[in-house]
Structure 1
Amino acid sequence: MAEVNLNRLSVFVALVRAGSFTAAAEVLGMTKAMVSQHIARLEAELGVTLLSRSTRRMTLTEAGSTFHAACLRILAEAEAAIAQVGRGQEKPSGTLRLTATGDYGTAVVAPALADFLHLHPEIQADLVLDDHMSDLIAERFDMAIRMGWLRDSNLRSARLGSFRQLMVASPAYLARRGTPRVITDLASHDWVALALLATPLRWTFTAPDGSRRTVRMRPVAQANNVTATHALVLHGGGVSVLPDYLVTDDIRDGRLVVLMAQYSLPDCGIYAVYPGRQPPAKVRAFIDHMRATVATPA
């Protein structure tokens, strides 16, 4: 049996509903000859006769009647599937599968996601925290929250906001080693490096007058994620640069001290990244929710 052209199923159903080739042609917007040709080819593809024709009337054969009932179910299921996809584009629903880094995911994304689920009870969530860049398509993620500077890719992105990079140390460390006063002092201090960065030991600072100074740090320890780097610094391991969303409470409560605040490091972007040109409503809704979350001070 040849491969069946599924487009002919709708022509067959329309013909049976209309009751004649002439009436079906009018409904379908095609010629009577074209309708007849579609049915003839469908019968050839199936290898059965669907209709008994005479000069005055048309009737379904036994095979045609059975096939017609099956076609009605198939087309109804297709229409329902199309409608369901359309609703997914219009109203947030289903499971939102997303990924983020361990530090930002714990500190910001997870709390924001909990609030989002309260607002949208028809949505479920699957949050995966991973400091390595996931393949959204291969791992079937709806979206990712990514930090810093985006690499070129075929994915779409939406900027959510930004965060500041702050150089910090614990009071215990500063009591033991002294507080650096000028940029050149940093080269002699204990540095806790974040191994994920492209240049974890070389940092360029901008002075109030706009001049830039680059310093190479002396590492005493390194960690492969921001959370571990934060813990090392918090417990007196040394000096490091950490994101503001992770250290704001520590600075406020005196557990960490900002060093040489007059010098600045570049702000880093926070992005929602997703595959496809038209993200579903659940993704669009969470992007809006994250924008509001990032824009609202904690």
Structure 2
Amino acid sequence: MDMPGAMIIFAQVVDSRSFSAAAVRLGLSKSAISKQIAKLEDRLGARLLNRTTRTLSPTDAGQDFYERCVRVAREVEEAERAISHLSTEPRGLLRLNAPASFGRDYIAPLVPEMLVRWPELRIDAVFDDHFVDVVAQGFDLVIRITKLQDSSLVARRLAHCRRLVCAAPAYLERHGVPKTPADLARHDCVLYSYAADQGEWQFVGPDGRLETVRVDGRLRVNSAEVMMAALRAGVALAMPPDFLVGPDIAAGRLVPLLTEYENPFGAIYAVWPHNRNLAPKVRAVVDFLVERFAVEPIWAPRG
């Protein structure tokens, strides 16, 4: 038998002083209540209730058992409230991963606001450029800047993103301005180790045709900071994401090149494992990020 359920029924019977009234409160039939009490007495080997045609009261053993049943019923009620609270309020530990530069510049400034907004939320933020296995490494939420292909994950687009060929004015003065993607083969290009297209850059031209260009250079990096240092110093050109170089382009420190061509790069996504009952902490943070990145381009100053 369901012992906790039987204890809750018994407590209701004693409180109601009637099988009929307890049945109404619990949404059960009077006969079902009577059978549960009989099974309970058989299991315990003790008579729990004194029954007459007009009154019903606990025996001494029943009174002692009733007090324990009340505690169980109260704990069940508190557990239900706690679970209900968990199902609506963001709380607990959120393990979050994002690319290093994007995490530092765009996620980190939002973390304090998250902590203030949700006092019961804790955040373990890991910012690096390694490709992580969301499930195997136990992340609740990962920011990816790419074309999504993994169907085992759920994704929500946060913002548009494109890669821009760019260089410092000093580099262009020394080496000239590339006019077509094919011209890049003659330039010193920074190669990014984690990019899928390290030595082959792709472009879609105004006519919609895809063009692939083999590029090379003296510098290969696994750090966006090193790439940006090389760009700003004028020693090479590169094709970083627009959120990384947008402020430098706006300030005139870098010049965008081949702007009539698009690199088929993808977008910025929040991704998480498939879960029919999505945790409130994940849902809340994703909604928050969608709201914050609604202004595009995302590097534009907020008024």
TM-score (norm 1): 0.81
State how far apart, in whole Å, the 2-side matches of 1:137 and 1:42 are.
45
Deviation at 1:108, TM superposition (A): 1.0
- In structure 1, stretches of 5+ residues that fail to align are none
1:205-220 matches, within 5 Å, as 205-220=203-218
Q: Is the 8 A contact 1:89 1:279 kept in 2?
A: no
Counterpart secondary structure, 1:9: helix
Runs of 4+ displaced beyond 6 Å:
none
Deviation at 1:246, TM superposition (A): 0.9
Q: Could you say if the C-alpha distance between residues 141 and 13 of structure 1 is closer, same or farther in structure 2, counting changes exceeding 3 Å?
A: farther
How many residues were matched structurally?
Answer: 293
> Of residues 36, 48, 67 in structure 2, which corresponds to 1:51?
48
**Identity level (%):** 35
Tell me the equivalent position of 1:292: 291
Q: Could you say if the C-alpha distance between residues 191 and 65 of structure 1 is closer, same or farther in structure 2, counting changes exceeding 3 Å?
A: farther
Q: Is the 8 A contact 1:103 1:227 kept in 2?
A: yes
CA RMSD of aligned residues (A): 3.2
**TM-superposition CA deviations, 1:52-108 (whole Å, max 9, x none):** 44555442443x444433433333233233334434444555655432221211111
1:55-134 matches, within 5 Å, as 55=52, 57-62=56-61, 64-92=62-90, 96-118=94-116, 120=117, 122=119, 124-126=121-123, 127-134=125-132
State how far apart, in whole Å, the 2-side matches of 1:153 and 1:60 are.
62
State how far apart, in whole Å, the 1-side matches of 2:226 and 2:113 are.
27
Q: Is the 8 A contact 2:90 2:121 kept in 1?
A: no
Q: Could you say if the C-alpha distance between residues 234 and 70 of structure 1 is closer, same or farther in structure 2, counting changes exceeding 3 Å?
A: farther
**Aligned: 1:157 with 2:155:** yes
State how far apart, in whole Å, the 1-side matches of 2:294 and 2:99 are.
19
Q: Could you say if the C-alpha distance between residues 7 and 54 of structure 1 is closer, same or farther in structure 2, counting changes exceeding 3 Å?
A: closer
> Of residues 257, 260, 281 in structure 2, which corresponds to 1:259?
257
1:28-43 matches, within 5 Å, as 28-42=26-40
Deviation at 1:203, TM superposition (A): 1.7
State how far apart, in whole Å, the 1-side matches of 2:140 and 2:243 are.
24
**Aligned: 1:226 with 2:228:** no
One-letter identity of the residue aligned with 2:15: R
Counterpart secondary structure, 1:264: coil
Tell me the equivalent position of 1:9: 7
- In structure 2, stretches of 5+ residues that fail to align are none
Q: Is the 8 A contact 1:145 1:271 kept in 2?
A: yes
Q: Is the 8 A contact 1:94 1:124 kept in 2?
A: yes
TM-score (norm 2): 0.79
